[in-house]
Amino acid sequence: MPVAVRPVRKRRDLDRFVKLPFRVHREHPLWVPPLIAERRRFLDRSRNPFFEHAEAEYFIAERDGEPVGRITAQVDEHWDEHNGGRDGMFGFFECEDDEEAAAALVEAAAGWLRERGRDRMLGPMDFTTNDECGLLVEGFELEPFVLQPWHPPYYQRLLEGLGMAKTMDLLMWRLALGALKRGDQFHELIHRAAEAARTEHEVVVRSMRKADMEAEIGRFMEVYNAAWDRNWGFVPITEREVRFQARNLKPILDEDWAYIAERDGEVLGAALTLPDVNQVLTRMGGRILPFGWWHFLNRKRIIDRVRVFALGVKPQYQHLGVAAALYVRHLETAPRTRVSHGEMGWILEVNEPMNRAMEGMGGTVVKRYRLYELPLAT
């Protein structure tokens, strides 16, 4: 039967769009089902603040009435303002191993972007580089950590077979933590820089406070937009977007692993490290009810790994050793918890300072996510 691609228009269509990965990945033991309710909320144009400065279309591919793939196409004013050019993005790509379906989905997204005068299509981004992004091209045999997608190897073949070319790779570094002594892993220069930050520059690293979360969100956002401003593909995040995301992260936020670096009350840097709740989500089947909360509450204690989701320092303070102080704080925290290791990223492959820092901490690249581009000129 031929493939038909159509936009999502009704609630029932959106439900099929959200649940399609459950169909595609049902035989893949490493795929972790997302919470269906959270995905519906994220894709709801009336609730996600992304749509205050962007527009998007959702497409679903069907064969003989059964869904076989999905994709989004989006145009973001903030991307245009910050990165220039006339780029459009695609995201949420999921597809059976079906070249015809993949081609139809990509063409639907490309056509929608051409109608809006876009010259190039970048992705996958769900919806921006502040969200889940990139296609897994290395590390298929490893379990994905929190907010990391997992893709089967054939996705790379499908997209590259349609003329998509690499534009940037994003790296995930594995770091051992646990009961390590000074010098066992982190380079001595990192410890010295952290000590200098504390004693010479009076930098204080403290845990974020859940009880003061509204203010902490503001402090984190202040660092995030300043520290990542010059990175390739960066899009400033708005206050409403941060608070929207914080609602999803608050249940898993652990004060032991979220830090603010300050001096005399001024925020210099921040680190948001998340317990890998995927170790629990894999048992919940995408649903909170009827037994999802039981799994979450009773299995949360098994979490023994973390993901350093964001760690940054304002540019004017990057010479003070603030980043080193944040790194060492992770090493000091681990022995007091069950955590034995973690992953840090995504880090751009061209970000030499961060990649060298990961090497200095004994890190190893374990996963690689790829962003693609496709010219749209007619």
Name the percent of the chain lying above pLDDT 90: 76
Residues 232, 266: one domain?
Answer: yes
| pLDDT greater than 70 at residue 342 | yes
- Does residue 197 form part of some domain? yes
Residue 266: phi, psi to the nearest 5? -90, 135
| Mean pLDDT to the nearest integer, 301-322 | 93
Contacts of 358 (CB under 8 A, 6+ apart): 173, 175, 344, 347
pLDDT tens per residue, range 110-158: 999 999 999 999 999 999 999 999 999 999 999 999 999 999 999 999 9
Name the percent of the chain lying above pLDDT 70: 94
- Containing 117, the helix (H) or strand (E) segment is none
The reported pLDDT for the residue numbered 291 is 46
- Report which of 375, 376, 336, 359 is spatially closest to residue 173, judged by C-alpha positions: 359
Triad 230, 170, 68: Cα angle to 5° = 125
Residues 180, 106: one domain?
Answer: no
- Does residue 72 form part of some domain? yes
Domain end, chosen from 169, 204, 238, is at 169
The reported pLDDT for the residue numbered 248 is 78
Question: Which residues is 2 bridged to in the sheet?
Answer: none
According to DSSP H, which parts of 71-171 are helical?
77-83, 99-114, 154-160
pLDDT band for position 297 (cuts 50, 70, 90) = low
Question: Which residues is 126 bridged to in the sheet?
Answer: 132
d(C-alpha 12, C-alpha 15), whole Å: 5
d(C-alpha 154, C-alpha 94), whole Å: 11
- Report which of 138, 135, 142, 144 is spatially closest to residue 166, judged by C-alpha positions: 135
- Does residue 31 form part of some domain? yes
pLDDT band for position 76 (cuts 50, 70, 90) = very high
The answer to whether residues 346 and 134 touch, using CB atoms and an 8 Å cutoff, is yes
pLDDT band for position 171 (cuts 50, 70, 90) = very high
How much is the mean pLDDT over the chain?
A: 91
Residues 103, 124: one domain?
Answer: yes
- Does residue 378 form part of some domain? no
Residues 69, 189: one domain?
Answer: no
Domain end, chosen from 134, 169, 204, is at 169
Residues 66, 159: one domain?
Answer: yes
Domain end, chosen from 169, 193, 208, is at 169
d(C-alpha 114, C-alpha 103), whole Å: 16
Model-wide pTM > 0.75: yes
Number of domains in the chain: 2
CATH number, domain with residue 249? 3.40.630.30
pLDDT band for position 90 (cuts 50, 70, 90) = very high
Residues 245, 334: one domain?
Answer: yes
- Does residue 377 form part of some domain? no
- Does residue 63 form part of some domain? yes
Instruction: DSSP letter for 1, please.
Output: -
d(C-alpha 31, C-alpha 34), whole Å: 9
Contacts of 183 (CB under 8 A, 6+ apart): 191
Residues 48, 146: one domain?
Answer: yes
> In the block, which residue shows the tokens 């964001």?
310
Residues 163, 249: one domain?
Answer: no
Structural domain containing residue 253: 174-369
Residues 245, 190: one domain?
Answer: yes
The reported pLDDT for the residue numbered 296 is 56
| pLDDT greater than 80 at residue 378 | no
- Does residue 346 form part of some domain? yes
| Mean pLDDT to the nearest integer, 75-82 | 96
Residues 217, 350: one domain?
Answer: yes
- Does residue 239 form part of some domain? yes
Residues 252, 328: one domain?
Answer: yes
| Mean pLDDT to the nearest integer, 198-204 | 96
- More confident position, 337 or 135: 135
Residues 165, 40: one domain?
Answer: yes
Residue 4 tokens read as 């038909």
d(C-alpha 340, C-alpha 133), whole Å: 26
